[in-house]
Amino acid sequence: MSLDPRSKGRRRPRTARARIGVVVSSYHGELTQVMLASALAELGRSGIVEARIVPAPGVFEIPLLARELARRKDIDAVLTFGLVLRGETTHDHWVAHGAVTGLVQASLETGKPLALGILTCAKLAQAKARARPKGREVARAALDALEALRLLRRSRK
């Protein structure tokens, strides 16, 4: 299954009943809201009409909130959205690294997909150009991961 947003022949996974959580950073909210809207539209095209949305103050807090959502029995996958812009120091590197490491750990702990939608850009213009496609890609990635898990678990029976 292709995650390429330009892919015409991509089939949609069988996940219309998936229960989705979303953690979205309030920091750079004008762009994280674009990512969120794009993701929700993609979920809607797959038959998912509702998602539980939790705001995070910033990117560094996303893994903790995503893990808590993923621990819920009524959540199958979690989408995450944030933005880290390069600064004059290495702070951006450590924030992004901490968030990604935390999301991977939370996904492995819970056995649920936690889809990474944290943009790391040098300039705000780059983030503006990438925000809409990133939301769509993250939603597709989560749905594809749910479908892969469903097939894997079905094959174990």
Please list the residues that pair with 79 across neighbouring strands: 22, 115
Question: By the 8 A CB rule, do 133 and 5 touch?
Answer: yes
The angle at the Cα of 120, spanning 118 to 124, to the nearest 5 degrees, equals 110
Q: Is 91 a catalytic residue?
A: yes
C-alpha to C-alpha distance for 68 and 84, rounded to whole angstroms:
22
d(CA 9, CA 131): 23
Tokens representing 65 are 């909130």
Q: Identify the active-site residue in 28, 91, 93, 97.
A: 91
Helices (H), the chain: 29-45, 62-70, 91-110, 124-156
* Active-site residue set: 91
